[in-house]
A and B are shown apart, each in its own frame.
Chain A
Amino acid sequence: MKILVVDDSRIMRNIIKNTLQYMHQKEDEYLEAADGVEALEILLHNHIDLLLLDWNMPRLNGLELVKKLRNIEQFVNLPIIMVTSEAAKYNVIEAIKEGVNDYLVKPVSERGLLSKIKRIFPAL
């Protein structure tokens, strides 16, 4: 599975990557991007199976990126999990309205991550 982790903090990206690797332990490929523009680039040139997206980023934030993606046919069904530091429900609801599949609250726990991934990919 190819997973794209997008977050403006390198530390955060590493943490998420490590958590994923620890949980999954299969041969998954992990790609990174520091903001929405980079992420879009990577998405267009790779076949990504899952997108983990930080919500507050410069240049193109999570919400805007999701709106863009869902307008592109190839990404209409791309599984997207938003990663946010605040769990205010109205933010999550807005995100889901725009097409996000699920959400995670920082700090990201292993169990939390795994359960959300299982929700989207029950076969795993």
Chain B
Amino acid sequence: MASFFNSIRRFWNSITTSGVGDALSMEQRRRVVFLNSIDLAGMIILLAFSVVNYRDSKLLVAASLLSAFCILLFALIYMRIKKRFILAGYIVVITIFFLFLFLLYTGGVEKSYSLWIQTFPLVAIFILGLTPGLIATGLYFICISCLVFIPQIAQVEYGFTFGVRVIGSFILVFFFALFYENIRRQTQETLEKLSADLMAAKKQTDSIMTNVAEGIFLLDTSLNIGSEYSKELEHIFGMKNLENQSLLNLLENKIDNKILTATKDYLDMFFKADINIQLLEEINPLDRVELHFIESDFGFITKHLEFTFAPIIREEKKINILATVKDITEEVELANKLKAQETRTKKQMEQLFQIINVDPAMLNEFILDAESELDNVNALLKSDEKDYTFIVNSIYQSVHAIKGNAILLGLSYTSKKLHSIEDELSEVRENRLSWNDLLKFTIRLSEIKNEINDVKDLVERVLTFQSSKEIKKIVQKDLLINAVERTVNIMSKERGVEINLVTDNFNSKAVMAKHRKVVKDILIQLTRNSLSHGIEVPEARSSLAKEKVGTIIISSAVEDGKFTLSFKDDGRGLNAETIKEKAKTIAAFKNMDLDSLPDQKLLGLIFHPRFSTAKKTTLSAGRGIGLNLIKSTVEKNGGSLRVRSARGKYCEFIITLPL
């Protein structure tokens, strides 16, 4: 049933819109539809009445009705094909004009045909428009007046009273039609003008909203985004269709939760009365905010945005918030980069000043040594070694060694950093070690690696300034002695002692390549010990009838397939008593019966990891692992270590290594 009516409706629609083209304005289209409707309606009525009249044997009337019907049909078809509705309109109006006159002329049953004439002004004016309609109606009026008032013209006698009434009602309808059409026309014009103005204004607004470089939007009392907002807002959030979205939902999971809650409270404040606008501006939690957008594939996009908010007040009530948001990611990242660069540069300058004074070959050696230390420790971590204490000790020793070398070269920035890591390691060595500690120190190792890489970078850059000739001059043998010389130079100033270093009998070529580092570490450690504990200050030496200048003799020999190294200083020597007293204070020796030990054994205690007679920890001394390290390293390499000493006179270390 419904589809039947639907198809009728569609049929009706298609007929009444015959002749409607896109080029026509609203007004014209309405006209056309009206015309078609009248046409169709008229056709149906004419046909019906034609048949009725034919049945009643009023053949003339029937024929005229039928012919009118045909003309209207023709007009409709013409409209549909040719789309010339103006012409069609005229055809219809003229047809109706003559038809109605004819009807009036014939009078019909009890002069009832005269009723039809009332409809003419409406039809004429609506189809033809105001002016032509008026003219047609005027003509029509003259004709019908003649027909009605002048006797003998029409077939029927209308009489005066009847005639007046007919004409009178005609005039009434006419004026109504006139007024109505006029008003309608005016309204139409105003509407069209307003529409045009509105369109022009909207075009401008759209232009602004599409091109402005900020996101602009409105928030209602539920903090939802309004339907009109600038395009940039979509770019910033990477989403379309933002209208009616909650701003808080958009920000959730992209910003810090604390800031999100603060934002909700803040925006709610806008809708409450009496909060100072200046204050609101000051406490905007989103005036600079970092957002993290999760990307579908690996990674984040981080944006920095700047929001501003202002209340919109109408009739004393705050109804909306006007919000703007600007993407300031570029500026912020640039500023961060500059700051980071500044910090890095400062650090590099410091290091550079330190490095510039050092021979690049020595720096290279430092770097190689440091890297090898780190590799050794890393290998230990990768291995199956289960003893955490042992591992942490190894890390400690490596850090200590690298630090020592750094100090030697005067790289105070690096050595300070290593010293603080040493401190950390030291604190933990006593207690039970957990896996977390191991992780912590692995992280420290990575930081050290970074440091060494930084130094490496700097060295590479410095190298380009130094001529390569100088590098060739430095040969391996000098490096070993050089290291000792540097240590002596630095520490003798620190300690206020004077040293005469004798190395004539030391043949560094005899040192096997694989022992090079071991020997170097030993020499440096012994030198440090000597200058820290051994050699007295000049005044003290004088009072002991010694030369003011202390002497350190380093010599070597090769025999029986063994390499022997001797390090002798003429300082305080080792004091068995002092060693014994010190040992008594150290927890590690608690279980030993120290009083019964012979002197030689007591002297041997100095190689114990926990043993140190220095009063406090400085960069250079006091950690108590140096000699222990030497002993273990030597023994690991298949060698041996002895000490000979006379209290107050000298101390000599003798190391042998297999060749």
Stretch at the interface among B81-89, B155-163, B190-198, B255-263: B255-263
Question: In the complex the two chains form, is A97's CB within 8 Å of B276's CB?
Answer: no
Please give the distance in Å from A78's CB to the nearest CB on chain B.
Answer: 14
Residues 255-296 (chain B) with a chain A CB within 8 angstroms: 258-259, 261-262, 265-266, 268-269, 275-276, 278-279, 283-285
Question: In the complex the two chains form, is A89's CB within 8 Å of B276's CB?
Answer: no
Question: In the complex the two chains form, is A119's CB within 8 Å of B279's CB?
Answer: yes
A92 contacts which chain B residues (CB < 8 A)?
283
> What secondary structure prevails in chain A residues at the interface with B?
helix
Over the window 70-98 of chain A, the binary record of Cβ atoms lying under 8 Å from chain B Cβ atoms (1 yes, 0 no) is: 00000000000000000001101110110
Interface residues of B toward A: which range? Answer: 10 to 19
Over the window 96-118 of chain A, the binary record of Cβ atoms lying under 8 Å from chain B Cβ atoms (1 yes, 0 no) is: 11000011000000000000000
> What secondary structure prevails in chain B residues at the interface with A?
helix
Question: In the complex the two chains form, is A89's CB within 8 Å of B265's CB?
Answer: no
Residues of A in contact (CB 8 Å), total 10
Tell me which of A93, A102, A119 contacts B266 (CB under 8 A).
A93
Question: In the complex the two chains form, is B262's CB within 8 Å of A90's CB?
Answer: yes
How long is the Cα–Cα vector from A10 to B510 in the complex, in angstroms? Answer: 75
Tell me which of B265, B278, B284, B285 contacts A97 (CB under 8 A).
B265
Question: In the complex the two chains form, is A96's CB within 8 Å of B275's CB?
Answer: yes
Please give the distance in Å from B369's CB to the nearest CB on chain A.
Answer: 47
Over the window 33-65 of chain A, the binary record of Cβ atoms lying under 8 Å from chain B Cβ atoms (1 yes, 0 no) is: 000000000000000000000000000000000
Question: In the complex the two chains form, is A102's CB within 8 Å of B262's CB?
Answer: no
A119 contacts which chain B residues (CB < 8 A)?
276, 278-279
Question: In the complex the two chains form, is B262's CB within 8 Å of A94's CB?
Answer: yes
Please give the distance in Å from A28's CB to the nearest CB on chain B.
Answer: 22
Q: Which residue of A lies closest to B279 (CB)?
A: A102
Question: In the complex the two chains form, is B279's CB within 8 Å of A93's CB?
Answer: no
How long is the Cα–Cα vector from A102 to B276 in the complex, in angstroms? Answer: 9
B275 contacts which chain A residues (CB < 8 A)?
96
Question: In the complex the two chains form, is B276's CB within 8 Å of A90's CB?
Answer: no
How long is the Cα–Cα vector from A70 to B278 in the complex, in angstroms? Answer: 23
Question: In the complex the two chains form, is B276's CB within 8 Å of A93's CB?
Answer: no
A94 contacts which chain B residues (CB < 8 A)?
262, 265
Question: In the complex the two chains form, is B283's CB within 8 Å of A89's CB?
Answer: yes
Q: Which residue of B lies closest to A98 (CB)?
A: B265
A102 contacts which chain B residues (CB < 8 A)?
276, 279
How long is the Cα–Cα vector from A93 to B281 in the complex, in angstroms? Answer: 12
Question: In the complex the two chains form, is A90's CB within 8 Å of B285's CB?
Answer: yes
B278 contacts which chain A residues (CB < 8 A)?
119
Please judge, given known A-B contacts A97-B265, A97-B269, whether A89 and B285 are in contact too, CB under 8 Å: yes
Q: Which 7 A-B residue pairs are closest in the complex by CB-CB distance?
A: A90-B262, A89-B285, A93-B262, A97-B265, A92-B283, A90-B258, A93-B266
A-B contact pairs, 19 of them (CB 8 A): A89-B259, A89-B262, A89-B283, A89-B284, A89-B285, A90-B261, A90-B262, A92-B283, A93-B262, A93-B265, A93-B269, A94-B262, A94-B265, A96-B275, A96-B279, A97-B268, A103-B283, A119-B276, A119-B278
